[in-house]
Amino acid sequence: MAREPNILLITSDQQHWNTLGIDNPEIRTPRLDRLAGEGIVLDRSYCPNPTCTPTRASLLTGQYPSQHGAYSLGTKLLEDRPTVNDCWRENGYRSGLVGKAHFQPLHGTAEYPSLEAYPTLQDLDFWKAFTGPFYGFDDFELARNHTDEAHVGQHYARWMEEKGLTNWREYFSRPTGTREQQRHTWDLPMEFHYNTWIAERTRHYLQSYREADQPFFLWASFFDPHPSYLVPEPWDRMYDPEALTVPQGRTGEHDSNSPFLRFTQDPEPSREKYGIDPDARWIHGLHSHVHDPAALARDIAIYYGMVSCMDRSIGHILDRLEELGLAENTLVVFTSDHGHYYGHHGLIAKGPFHYEDSVRVPMIARWPGKIAAGTRSSAIQSLVDLPATFLAAAGIAPPRFMSGRNQLPVWTGRAEAVRDHALVENTHEPDQAVLRTYVEDRYKLTVYQTLDCGEFFDLWEDPGELHNRWDDPGYAAEKAAVLHRFLQAEMKKDVLPMPRTSGA
């Protein structure tokens, strides 16, 4: 075997940080729990943006969304942007991606075409012949849909046809109206579920790389538990809604918060009432989040079922890693692209809100002989750090275009921390819903581009983020100091890819 370590990245999509069995007794994730017991749990891990495209592009580039340019859903990571895959290829590694990419929008334009858009999305002859380039990946098999969304296609649809499910379109109809919308129980047989596909094809590439005796970076990118809340039998009945905790907001909690948050708690909100531009088209999550607790409990039961179903497929991947004799020389990292609200603070799904529920993510790292088993760390992590950390594990210096920091000293117990803060960006609609958050050990501060208000939380005294101290005179000095550190952190974030070679 090659002496260089392999890197296996496993990601879920929109998974709340507290949905692992190691900490939440209401959910069962035995394979991820085992992975945690064999490595380190990183309790304070943050995404750079609580939506899919920006964070996924950051996982590939090691840059913040404001740097790599894919700043929001509906934008594109331009193909000329450097990625970590350039480094892998230069150093004899093979790189692969199976599952969700979402580096490009669902609808492209002449100026910004998208491989993940119609009609290419469902042109299976195209995907059979297409060998790239695709952001530097040597191997890639892609899909785009969440649960039964109609924009299924690409390699996943080809795989279903090859497995004999030639009528796959009948199981993926939302929101076309070609059949009655499914609720909670997905009639797609588990043998054709995308979890099965991701696990099978990831195992295939592990086998291929093992036979070639070639070090690899392989990304298994799952779609769940991103809503809609839909999962095949028997996972749809795994959890009893009446036995689950249903998070709730607190009466009056958002009275001093941003108009976006107040908007969500109104059963019939209007943009004029809250001073929000009525012409802003794409403020994701800007709607009433008022919900029925009993219905939400049923959704949570399915959400947990989706996590447990995914956990089984992750176990299949980890089992193959061991069967091939690769586990001892492979750094495995599990995380999610961002979090999810299921009643927390009265919110559902996601939007221009930066509570821990959406910006904090689960993260586990295992590397036998390097990372001590059964350990935990509260050191702040950012998903922006992963590319630089992976390269460091392989003994490769990160390129100057990356903003992320090498977290290996923390993971291996050689340092308490390598960063004292995390930055979270969110640009839903330029000049309308733009917010930035600075998180450190104790304090968390959020500012808005066009608003005078903000959020300031003391996470030591108020870990549930129920009391906004933005206008609290008792916290004025602390807020001013944190604002100054926030500004300094933004200035330090600048990427200077060209080294200075002369004084003039």
Chain centroid to CA 330? 22
- Collapse the DSSP code of 121 into the 3-class scheme (helix H, G, I; strand E, B; otherwise coil) and give the result: helix
DSSP for 31-51?
HHHHHHHTSEEEEEEE-SSSS
In a domain, 88, yes or no: yes
Domain interval for residue 200: 6-424
In a domain, 21, yes or no: yes
User: What is the rounded CA–CA span in Å between residue 297 and residue 343?
Assistant: 9
Q: What is the CATH number of the domain that holds 189?
A: 3.40.720.10
User: pLDDT tens across 169-223, in order?
Assistant: 999 988 776 677 788 999 999 999 999 999 999 999 999 999 999 999 999 999 9
Q: Would you state the pLDDT for residue 430?
A: 77
- Collapse the DSSP code of 92 into the 3-class scheme (helix H, G, I; strand E, B; otherwise coil) and give the result: coil
Name residue 446's beta-bridge partners. Answer: 437, 455
Structure tokens at 475: 């916290």
**DSSP-assigned letter for residue 394:** T
> Does an H or E element contain 486, and which?
helix 476-492
Query: Number of structural domains, the chain?
Result: 1
- Collapse the DSSP code of 468 into the 3-class scheme (helix H, G, I; strand E, B; otherwise coil) and give the result: coil
Q: Would you state the pLDDT for residue 177?
A: 65
User: pLDDT tens across 214-251, in order?
Assistant: 999 999 999 999 999 999 999 999 999 999 999 999 99
Per-residue pLDDT in tens (0 to 9) along the chain, 504 residues:
447 999 999 999 999 999 999 999 999 999 999 999 999 999 999 999 999 999 999 999 999 999 999 999 999 999 999 999 999 999 999 999 999 999 999 999 999 999 999 999 999 999 999 999 999 999 999 999 999 999 999 999 999 999 999 999 999 988 776 677 788 999 999 999 999 999 999 999 999 999 999 999 999 999 999 999 999 999 999 999 999 999 999 999 999 999 999 999 999 999 999 999 888 888 889 999 999 999 999 999 999 999 999 999 999 999 999 999 999 999 999 999 999 999 999 999 999 999 999 999 999 999 999 999 999 999 999 999 999 999 999 999 999 999 999 999 999 999 999 999 999 999 987 788 899 999 999 999 999 998 999 999 999 999 999 999 999 999 999 999 999 999 999 999 887 778 888 888
**DSSP-assigned letter for residue 399:** P
Q: Would you state the pLDDT for residue 114?
A: 95
User: What is the rounded CA–CA span in Å between residue 145 and residue 486?
Assistant: 37
- Collapse the DSSP code of 280 into the 3-class scheme (helix H, G, I; strand E, B; otherwise coil) and give the result: coil
In a domain, 458, yes or no: no
In a domain, 126, yes or no: yes
In a domain, 303, yes or no: yes
User: What is the rounded CA–CA span in Å between residue 94 and residue 397?
Assistant: 17
Residues 6+ apart with CB under 8 A from 227: 14, 146, 147, 299, 303, 349
Count of C-beta atoms within a 10 Å radius of residue 254: 21
Q: Would you state the pLDDT for residue 1?
A: 40
Cβ atoms 24, 347 nearer than 8 A: no
Structure tokens at 268: 């019939």
Cβ atoms 244, 26 nearer than 8 A: yes
User: What is the rounded CA–CA span in Å between residue 382 and residue 444?
Assistant: 15
Amino acid symbol at 449: Q
In a domain, 489, yes or no: no
Q: Strand order in 422-429's β-sheet?
A: 422-429, 433-439, 443-448, 454-458
Give the CA count within 13 Å in the CB-facing half-sphere of 88: 26
In a domain, 454, yes or no: no
User: What is the rounded CA–CA span in Å between residue 275 and residue 473?
Assistant: 26
Greatest C-alpha distance within the chain: 70
Give this prediction's pTM: 0.97
In a domain, 105, yes or no: yes
